[in-house]
């Protein structure tokens, strides 16, 4: 278990209803010409037959509130492909190792300075334009990066942190907290940061509070976080 998982408690998830599931899939995949869920697209992503998706969206029996979709399938639809999620976790682990190295000048990689990764970075929560979603993003604060961020959405919260690695760990903490509210839009619905998005009616994210909860930068703390 990562240190973020140890100290950041996930927010309580939504009450999943047929309406919420239908709305999420309409938002994430786009409607068909007739305005229905794109069953074929959902089935392709989940690796199931279209009939399975139709069953997931079917009305529950009278008197039952339980959805037809299995829990593991719902979680699958909320997450990116396994290899993408694994790559995100590796990036997080790399950031932890880098934080440990920063305390020892001899361990700092020359390319970190060259890339500007040891400069201050900003973690921002944005409301994605035209979508009922929030997203966490990491930026170096340059004019170009901020312009790109503003094209994607309006800023809801932001926090400046010492390095890119601090920013990556904080972004990971945000997604840890919001994991029950995550979504994974199709590429034609969102082009960037598709594994860092959640539903807009989720509990509010307080970046400063989350940053304070994550262990302070030090070799010992980073080593514990990577354990």
For 45, the token pair is 């992503």
pLDDT in tens, 76-126: 999 999 999 999 999 999 999 898 888 766 667 888 888 888 999 999 999
Burial status of residue 33 (CB atoms within 10 A of its CB: 0-12, 13-18, 19 or more): exposed
Residue 127's beta-bridge partner residues? 134, 154
For 65, the token pair is 């509130």
pLDDT in tens, 6-54: 678 899 999 999 999 999 999 999 999 999 999 999 999 999 999 999 9
Nearest to 117 by CA among 105, 135, 99: 99
pLDDT in tens, 178-219: 999 999 999 999 999 999 999 999 999 999 999 998 865 533
Nearest to 193 by CA among 158, 148, 160: 148
């Amino acid at each position: 278990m990562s240190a973020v998982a140890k100290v950041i408690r996930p927010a309580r998830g939504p009450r999943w209803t047929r309406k919420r599931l239908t709305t999420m899939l309409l938002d994430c995949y786009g409607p068909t010409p007739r305005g229905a869920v794109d069953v074929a697209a959902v089935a392709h992503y989940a690796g199931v037959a279209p009939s399975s998706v139709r069953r997931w969206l079917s009305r529950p029996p009278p008197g039952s509130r339980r959805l037809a979709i299995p829990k593991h399938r719902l979680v699958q639809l909320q997450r990116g492909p396994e290899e993408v999620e694994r790559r995100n976790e590796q990036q997080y682990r790399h950031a932890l190792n880098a934080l440990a190295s920063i305390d020892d000048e001899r361990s700092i990689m020359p390319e970190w300075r060259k890339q500007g990764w040891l400069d201050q970075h900003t973690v921002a929560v944005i409301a994605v334009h035209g979508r009922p979603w929030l997203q966490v993003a990491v930026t170096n604060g340059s004019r170009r990066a901020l312009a790109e961020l503003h094209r994607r959405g309006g800023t809801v919260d932001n926090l400046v942190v010492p390095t890119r690695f601090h920013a990556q760990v904080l972004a990971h903490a945000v997604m840890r907290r919001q994991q029950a509210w995550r979504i994974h839009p199709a590429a034609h619905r969102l082009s960037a940061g598709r594994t860092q998005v959640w539903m807009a009616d989720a509990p509010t994210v307080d970046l400063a509070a989350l940053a304070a909860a994550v262990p302070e930068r030090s070799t010992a703390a980073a080593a514990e976080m990577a354990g």
